[in-house]
Every structure is written in structure tokens, then in C-alpha cells.
Amino acid sequence: MQRVTSRLNSEFSMSRVAMGLWRMDSWEMNPQERLGLAEQLLELGVTTFDLADIYGDYQCEALFGEALQIDPSVRARMEIVSKCGIKLCGSRNDYRLNHYDSGEAHVRRSVESSLSNLGTDYLDLLLLHRPDPLMDAAELAAVLDDLVDTGKVRSVGVSNFLPHQVELLQSRLKAPLVVNQIEVSLLHSTPMFDGQLDHCQKEGILPMAWSPFAGGDLFTGGAEAAARVRGCMESLRGELGMDAQQIALSWLLRHPSRMVPVLGSGNLERLKGALAAADHEMPLEPWFMLLRAARGRDVD
């Protein structure tokens, strides 16, 4: 599988498709099975594993770390992405409400917790999970730069940030923001038109696409747009030689921003099928046929 390398930091690269672990706590796998899934994905060329401190009620990092400790040599073959900045109500804290915290103390504490849970000395990529309306860009930049300088984090980025929010943080940072993880799918193509993906291309930022199947609605949802897209995908299956999952991923991968879709299934066979999309470049007219189906109208 091809890789994508950051134009802002040539030492940072990712697999063309990433593995999302936000549902790992529901996969009912023991540590050896989790390790086996990671090893098989690595053999398939998927080396980027996406996490966050809050995933699985703050449990998924530890579950993945437990698997990695069985064979610590596996760690060097992968890129681990994690996120911080959200304080989520749950069984492991006494927060009165879900809220954001991009302050120095929380970011440091979150990174230290992630490293401990994962059993690693460094994160390949740390993302700020959501834009914080109380973000002090200078304070946040200082702690991010320090985490990079001390080797605890190798690269930094953001998630769900709009272009002006990226630019504000980058204006205070020494380290480049190499990634913006945003929601993109056939049912949420807005970032292709509102400047988010344009900004990524302009600045050399790699976009990671979360929920590339629209949370499953693309295949099972009852909305009119989802039904139109399913009909279009069915009509293109023979022409493209791909199933619905592959068509949906190939549609994203066709975008020139070098988008990295984040898949979130623990089913290896389903993952293998989806990954085959990376070997197919979608032709132009089918791409626009799918866009028309999703939006319910032709381009202007």
C-alpha cells in the first residue's frame, strides 16, 4: 500500500488508509487477538493507528497498549496517533459536563497518560481533538513545541479545526501542524466546498477523514441522500469492479488533498475488502455521478 509523506515534515508519513480504534472496547477481543489484528493490518500495509484519550470511556489506549506489550517490537512498525483536549463525562472522572481544555496542564497530563496507557515513550502524532473557544494559542503552542522538543511527541496536528483556527495556532507554533482530521464522506462532502480541504492543499496539511462511511448511514441509513448514493453505487459496481465500501473509499482517495480515510472495524475480512480500494483510481465521470447522487443535483 502506498504511503503519504508530509510536505511540512518529511520525517512524518502515514499509511494511505488508517485504522481507527475508537470502538476497540466493544470488539470483545483478548490482548492476543488485538495484537493479531494489528500484526495482520501491518502486513497489509496499514501502519497508522488512530486513538484518543477519551475513546471507550478512556479505555481504548490501555487496551491497545496491553496488546502491544505482548510483542513490543511491533511498536516500531507503526504510527500511533492520539488526541487530547476533550474532558468527557464518564465512569472514570467526576466532570459535571463534557467540555474542552486546551490548557498546558491538561495537555501535558493527557499526553503522559497516553504514553503510560500505550506503554510507549512517544506518540508519532498528537492531535488537538476539537477547537476550544477558550484556546490560548500562545500557551498551547508552547506546550506542543516542548512536547516535540523533548521527544514525547514526534509531530502535532489538529482535528475538526477550520482554516482560520489552524492558522491561529500555527502562527504561534515552531513545529508545523501536519494533519487536520475532519469528517468527510459521500454524505458529508462539505469540506470539499467550504475551504477546509483547499486549505489543507494550500498549506501542505494532510487531511485524515473520520467517519468515511458516515457512521454506516451510507449503507443502511434511511435518508433520501443515502438511498440515492446506494442506488448509484449499485449501478457502478460492474463498471468499477468494486463493492459499495470500496467505491465509497475510492471516491475519497480520488481527492488531490491526499486524504487518509480512518476505518473503524474490527472485522479483518471486511477491512481487507475495503483496503482494495487503495489500488483503484476512480474515473472522473463516476466520481461526479456519486457526487450528484449525494447532493441531489448536478454541479452548477
Return the active site residues. Answer: 55
Do the Cβ atoms of 173 and 161 come closer than 8 Å?
no
**Pair 266, 23: CB distance under 8 Å:** yes
- Dig out the grid coordinates for 242 from the structure: 468494486
For residue 110, give the C-alpha cell: 493527557
Task: Give the CA count within 13 Å in the CB-facing half-sphere of 56.
Answer: 19
Apex CA 80: angle with CA 78 and CA 86, to 5°? 170
User: In angstroms, rounded to a whole number, what is the distance separating the alpha carbons of residues 250 and 277?
Assistant: 5
Please give the single-letter amino acid code of residue 15. Answer: S
Please name the residue that has the C-alpha cell 497530563. Answer: 109
